[in-house]
Structure formats: structure tokens, C-alpha cells
A and B are shown apart, each in its own frame.
Chain A
Amino acid sequence: SQQGEEDPQALSIQEGENATMNCSYKTSINNLQWYRQNSGRGLVHLILIRSNEREKHSGRLRVTLDTSKKSSSLLITASRAADTASYFCATAGGLGAGSYQLTFGKGTKLSVIP
């Protein structure tokens, strides 16, 4: 079953604009991660935010986490055509012994128009 729900399902913006994607989840988490997927191939890890963190930055990416609302957002600033991809949030739940199972949402399909 899918834990996370991304919003919007699809987003189309002009190059140079900012893109914001939101994710909501249902159960308590150890951490939340964002991944990018190009053209139905493998997922690329973008950023991880732990449950005791509220905001994290990595290059043009900014992630926030609100555990009270069970929600997260991913902001991509100054978007480029190469950012065109599907973006997924994934929550990490413990399997014990330090192992984690990732539960993904359905993703946001971002199109950046040159």
C-alpha cells in the first residue's frame, strides 16, 4: 500500500521558476526521503530528512518536514529543463536491526519548459 501522497500529481512550469511538491503520509516515520525518476528508470536519491529535523537544504533543493501534520514539501529553485522527471517521497519505517523499508507515494510528474 502507498503511505505517501504527493500533490500535485503533475506540474508544468517555465525554466527558471521554482517548483514545489508536497507529500503527506499516515504513520510515524524514522525519516522521509525524496527521489527522482527519469523516464521510468531507476530512482535517484535526492535528500533525506530525519523525523527530528524541520528543514534541510542541498544545492537547489529545500525540504521541509512537519511531523505534526505528517507532511513534507520539496522546493526546487531556479528549475532547469533537466529537472523534468517524476519525484517521489518515501517514508522509512523500521524493520528492526537497523533496516528500513521505504514506502513510496504515487509521485509528482514535473515538466520544465525551456
Chain B
Amino acid sequence: ETGVTQSPTHLIKTRGQQVTLRCSSQSGHNTVSWYQQALGQGPQFIFQYYREEENGRGNFPPRFSGLQFPNYSSELNVNALELDDSALYLCASNGGAEETQYFGPGTRLLVL
């Protein structure tokens, strides 16, 4: 157990809809990162938040956005869903200068 939780575990949406995925980090971890993992691929970095500010972004369009809250929870929002957004979405947290990221179990999103 990493102490990182995500909700929901599974989600089905239709193309064009919007979705919000949630993550609860370990207490004391002020950095949260989000990753997208397509079937058969490795996770790809979406963005990272540090103390409620975006700290870095991967090659994802602006319709992927996020929020981080003072209570160590965070959200990933995806607007105008596309079929290719179907994937496992993982959040990971780490604290201070710690290099190890602790992953949650993921949310599996299916876009029809």
C-alpha cells in the first residue's frame, strides 16, 4: 500500500463529455503527478503540481487540466473527451526532494 488513493476505479464516458478524476496523496506530500497509460504502453507524464501550482507539463493538449488542494487531494479534468483518451490514469505523489514517486491504483477510463 502506497497511501495514495484514486477514485473512481472505473469510468465509462462518451465522446465529447467531460470527466474529473480524483487523487488523494500521502499526507505531507506536496507534489502530485498525473500519468496516462494506454493499453500495452508505459505511463506518459501529463503534468505535475507542486503546492497548488502547475510545475511541469508533458505533451498533452490544454483540454487536460488539473487542480491541487491544500488537503493533499488533487483532480485531473479532461474536456471534450476523445476515443484515444481511453486509458488508465495514474496519480503519484512525493514529498520534498524525495525522488521516489508513490503511485495510486489508477482510474480506468473508457470513452465510447
Interface residues of A (CB under 8 A from B): 1-2, 4, 30-31, 33, 35, 40-45, 48, 88, 90, 92, 95-107
- Do B31 and A42 touch across chains, with their CB atoms under 8 A apart? no
From residue 4 to 49 of chain B, which have CB atoms closer than 8 A to chain A?
A: 4, 31, 33, 35, 37, 39-45, 48
Contact of B106 among A33, A41, A100 (CB under 8 A): A41
Q: 30 pairs across A/B with beta carbons < 8 Å?
A: A1-B59, A31-B99, A33-B100, A40-B88, A42-B4, A42-B104, A42-B106, A43-B92, A43-B103, A45-B101, A45-B103, A88-B42, A95-B56, A96-B55, A97-B50, A97-B55, A99-B31, A99-B48, A99-B55, A99-B56, A100-B94, A101-B33, A101-B56, A102-B43, A102-B92, A103-B45, A104-B35, A104-B43, A106-B42, A107-B41
Contact of A101 among B4, B37, B48, B97 (CB under 8 A): B48
Chain A CB within 8 A of B96 CB: yes
**How many angstroms between the C-alpha atoms of A11 and B74 in the bound complex?**
37
- Do A101 and B58 touch across chains, with their CB atoms under 8 A apart? yes
**How many angstroms between the C-alpha atoms of A106 and B44 in the bound complex?**
10
Q: Which residues of B contact A41 (CB under 8 A)?
A: 105-106
- Do B2 and A42 touch across chains, with their CB atoms under 8 A apart? yes
CB distance from B13 to the nearest CB of A (A): 19
Q: Which residues of A contact B88 (CB under 8 A)?
A: 40
**How many angstroms between the C-alpha atoms of A101 and B104 in the bound complex?**
16
Q: Which residues of B contact A100 (CB under 8 A)?
A: 94, 99, 101
CB distance from A35 to the nearest CB of B (A): 8
Chain A CB within 8 A of B76 CB: no
- Do B103 and A44 touch across chains, with their CB atoms under 8 A apart? yes
Q: Which residues of B contact A45 (CB under 8 A)?
A: 100-103
- Do A101 and B43 touch across chains, with their CB atoms under 8 A apart? no
CB distance from B37 to the nearest CB of A (A): 8
**How many angstroms between the C-alpha atoms of A4 and B43 in the bound complex?**
11
Q: Which residues of A contact B96 (CB under 8 A)?
A: 98
Given contacts A43-B92, A45-B101, A99-B50, 15 further A-B contacts (CB under 8 A): A2-B44, A33-B100, A35-B103, A40-B39, A42-B90, A43-B90, A90-B42, A92-B99, A95-B56, A97-B55, A98-B96, A98-B97, A99-B56, A101-B56, A102-B92
